[in-house]
Structure 1
Amino acid sequence: MVWNDACVKLTQSKSSNSEEQLVMLIPESCADLASCSVTSTDGEYWIYPKATSGQRVKIYCHNIRTNPKEYITLKYTNTFVEHDPSNFMTRWQTCRTDYKLPLKSAIFSRVAMNIQDMTVIGSDYTFAVRTGNFKLEFGEAQDCNGYSSMSGCHRFGNAVINTLGTGLILDRNAKWGLINAHKAGIQNFERSEDGAEISITCAGYCGHCGPLSKPLRLILSSEFVSDKEARAEVCRM
């Protein structure tokens, strides 16, 4: 078997009375896992990326035997709403609350990532349930229900991010704001103390809100994730 050079090599003595060494490999990506083990099943695995200095990350390996890709399984709701002009039924009113259902939205159960630098691939909808022709990326929302300065207007453009249970959070240094807007603004931005939960309310006519620092980057959190949450695969030479 040919071993992937990207795998991290570990050595240990076979016994205390022998100089014979066992060389073991731990995967830095799902592609490594596919090439240096007999694993053929998609699922949750412990991966040891260079971007985390070899600290393990719970990764869902998808299409592991054909085109391995990395995803983070999201245990809680991650929902993004795109309220755009196509939702209007009545125009030229102060608050355009008479809208067509359903609103365009996406609910992500897993989010794609680039394992080399731990950045989010927000336009990958493999594990997202989309309503309507939703075109925004993970972390984004849009509202077209009236100028942000108007009080009393209901706001439909909401984004809810929750990475609890993954051992990861979005980089706290990421900037959030208006991506494309007219008479718009973020009316509400909240982030939990541990950084795992973020909620955004976008307002405008129309307002497109989300991360200004792209791509979003995932970093390790202080959250404990049990060994049982994923499979540990070690290859031997």
Structure 2
Amino acid sequence: MDKLMLAILLLLKIFMVSTRLTTVCSSLENFSQLEQETYLLDAQFRNTSTGSLLKCVEECQMYRRCASFNFDRVSGLCIMNEKTKNESLTTDLINIKDYVFSDINVWLSKRPGACSEHNCSKTEVCEELNGTHSECVTVYCGKPPAVSKGEMIGANLDFWNINESVSYNCSPGFEPLGERVCQSDGSWSTFTCQRVVTCADLKACNNDYTDGEYWFRVKLANYQYVKVYCSGMATTSPESYITLFGENYSYFLDTDNGACSTSWSGTFEGNTTFSKVKFNPWNFSFLHGGFRFANTSGLFGNFGRTVDCRDSLSCAAKEAGSFQIDTTGTGLKVVDYLTWTDATTVTRSSNGNVITGSCRARCLYCKPTGSGFGAGAFSLEYDTSFVPDNTTAIFPVCKQ
């Protein structure tokens, strides 16, 4: 008997549900604002289960962004759209069973309650506090501000959800600083593409970085990565250097001209070796000065220069002042059109990485001159045959 009663109750429930759905479906046909069996594609921004058509209308009216809605007559799902029928493509309005569609502007503009005449923006929703008061609550951010030297990844939408983030590709020579996130007040968090060209830029990019090797993308190297040693990162004026792996020296001689003595007189003699050379990323050059990473015996000799005070004829068979520049392993080469003063004999390796010079100048400097040498700087070019080892230096990551 219990089973029979249970079956009867189950059949009665099915009948009542069926009757209710039939009543709901038939009642919605009485609304002239609705387009029956219709659904708008590619415009939805919010789904909510309202259970009834009029609740869907009221919910849509809470959002100034809501221009139309799709309503599922069976499930009571309310799908809010940010486009009207006229703002959409004709192909976006399709036929789907049990759905109705309507633009919101064909309904009464005033809804019951405190939100009946709200002036909330499209990034806000009206929320009722009680029967007579309401407030506009931010639920979206608008388009994020443009970023100098940055290009957004993906579509630049008109609206973004709270806590949603936007990613950017920064131009070569610039690194991301911060994160662009839609905040709860509708504003965007700070994000910039920070210039990282010099070691001073690196310090501004990330104050945690200490002295060491870093990869910088250099404009005059066609934005190839160049490994730069940053020195003095704990100071207010960090400096940029290139670490040298080959033999780099400046050998100065100052001997008795007449006797061609091999002993030094003590005025200009000196032998200087360089483990690093100062680097200017702006004009892509070595600076001949600087002794922070130089080891000197006697008088300091500038990078890529030498001097010899012995007579060039009577002492031709004797040792001369000399220098060597070896950029092997750095990815850089001194430009092949760089010249030295006439008293200098210069030879270059076949790959251009090694330059050796000797001097017979009668106490005059043998030094770079002319094209490729400006304001004491050796012009460089990128060695296209160089294969960098990415593990030997740090790729900068900026932090606030």
Shorter-chain TM-score above 0.5 = yes
Aligned partner of 1:92 in structure 2 is 258
Indicate if the aligned counterparts of 2:214 and 2:228 stay in contact, CA closer than 8 A: yes
Equivalent of 2:201 in 21, 29, 32:
32
Aligned partner of 1:133 in structure 2 is 299
The CA distance in 2 between the partners of 1:193 and 1:10, in whole Å, is: 42
Q: Would you say 1:22 and 2:187 are equivalent positions?
A: no
The CA distance in 1 between the partners of 2:282 and 2:333, in whole Å, is: 17
The verdict on how the C-alpha distance between 1:145 and 1:225 changes in structure 2, with shifts beyond 3 A counting, is same
Query: Of Structure 1 and Structure 2, which has the larger fraction of its residues in helix?
Result: 2
The CA distance in 1 between the partners of 2:211 and 2:165, in whole Å, is: 34
Q: Indicate the larger mover: 64-73 or 48-57.
A: 48-57
Equivalent of 1:160 in 324, 332, 335:
324
The CA distance in 1 between the partners of 2:314 and 2:299, in whole Å, is: 28
Aligned partner of 2:278 in structure 1 is 112
Indicate if the aligned counterparts of 2:253 and 2:321 stay in contact, CA closer than 8 A: yes
Question: Which amino acid counterpart does residue 21 of structure 1 have in structure 2?
Answer: V
Indicate if the aligned counterparts of 2:253 and 2:264 stay in contact, CA closer than 8 A: no
Q: Would you say 1:123 and 2:289 are equivalent positions?
A: yes
Question: 1:170 Cα shift?
Answer: 0.6
Equivalent of 2:353 in 188, 196, 199:
196
The verdict on how the C-alpha distance between 1:10 and 1:48 changes in structure 2, with shifts beyond 3 A counting, is farther
Question: 1:104 Cα shift?
Answer: 0.6
Question: Which amino acid counterpart does residue 274 of structure 2 have in structure 1?
Answer: F
The CA distance in 1 between the partners of 2:213 and 2:321, in whole Å, is: 32
Indicate if the aligned counterparts of 1:158 and 1:199 stay in contact, CA closer than 8 A: yes
Question: 1:177 Cα shift?
Answer: 2.1
The verdict on how the C-alpha distance between 1:149 and 1:63 changes in structure 2, with shifts beyond 3 A counting, is same
> Which SS does the other structure have where 2:262 is aligned?
coil
Query: How many residues end up aligned between the 2 structures?
Result: 213
Question: Which amino acid counterpart does residue 110 of structure 1 have in structure 2?
Answer: K
Which runs of structure 2 are paired with 1:40-51 in the superposition (5 Å)? 40-51=209-220
What TM-score, normalized by structure 2, do the two folds share? 0.49
| Root-mean-square deviation over aligned CA pairs | 2.6
Question: 1:233 Cα shift?
Answer: 1.5
Question: 1:116 Cα shift?
Answer: 1.0
Question: Which amino acid counterpart does residue 378 of structure 2 have in structure 1?
Answer: L
Question: Which amino acid counterpart does residue 209 of structure 1 have in structure 2?
Answer: C
The CA distance in 1 between the partners of 2:152 and 2:399, in whole Å, is: 10
Q: Indicate the larger mover: 34-43 or 103-112.
A: 34-43
Q: Would you say 1:173 and 2:318 are equivalent positions?
A: no
Question: 1:152 Cα shift?
Answer: 4.5
Q: Give percent identity, aligned residues only.
A: 29
The CA distance in 2 between the partners of 1:121 and 1:207, in whole Å, is: 21
Question: Which amino acid counterpart does residue 22 of structure 1 have in structure 2?
Answer: S
Q: Would you say 1:52 and 2:221 are equivalent positions?
A: yes
Aligned partner of 1:3 in structure 2 is none
Indicate if the aligned counterparts of 1:155 and 1:201 stay in contact, CA closer than 8 A: no
Indicate if the aligned counterparts of 1:170 and 1:218 stay in contact, CA closer than 8 A: yes
Q: Would you say 1:212 and 2:357 are equivalent positions?
A: no
Unaligned residue ranges in structure 1 (runs of 5+): 1-6, 179-184
Equivalent of 2:251 in 53, 61, 81:
81
Aligned partner of 1:182 in structure 2 is none
Unaligned residue ranges in structure 2 (runs of 5+): 1-147, 155-160, 176-195
Indicate if the aligned counterparts of 2:241 and 2:277 stay in contact, CA closer than 8 A: yes
The verdict on how the C-alpha distance between 1:11 and 1:54 changes in structure 2, with shifts beyond 3 A counting, is farther
The verdict on how the C-alpha distance between 1:65 and 1:151 changes in structure 2, with shifts beyond 3 A counting, is closer
String of CA shifts for 1:56-100, please: whole Å, max 9, x gaps. 11000111232111000001110101113xx44xx632x233435
What TM-score, normalized by structure 1, do the two folds share? 0.79
The CA distance in 2 between the partners of 1:43 and 1:137, in whole Å, is: 24
The CA distance in 1 between the partners of 2:379 and 2:348, in whole Å, is: 16
Question: Which amino acid counterpart does residue 142 of structure 1 have in structure 2?
Answer: V
More contact order relative to length (CA 8 Å, sep ≥ 6)? 1
The verdict on how the C-alpha distance between 1:126 and 1:8 changes in structure 2, with shifts beyond 3 A counting, is farther
Question: 1:10 Cα shift?
Answer: 6.2
Indicate if the aligned counterparts of 2:269 and 2:299 stay in contact, CA closer than 8 A: no
Question: 1:210 Cα shift?
Answer: 2.2
> Which SS does the other structure have where 1:34 is aligned?
helix
Aligned partner of 2:239 in structure 1 is 69
Question: Which amino acid counterpart does residue 200 of structure 2 have in structure 1?
Answer: A
- Bigger CA radius of gyration: 2
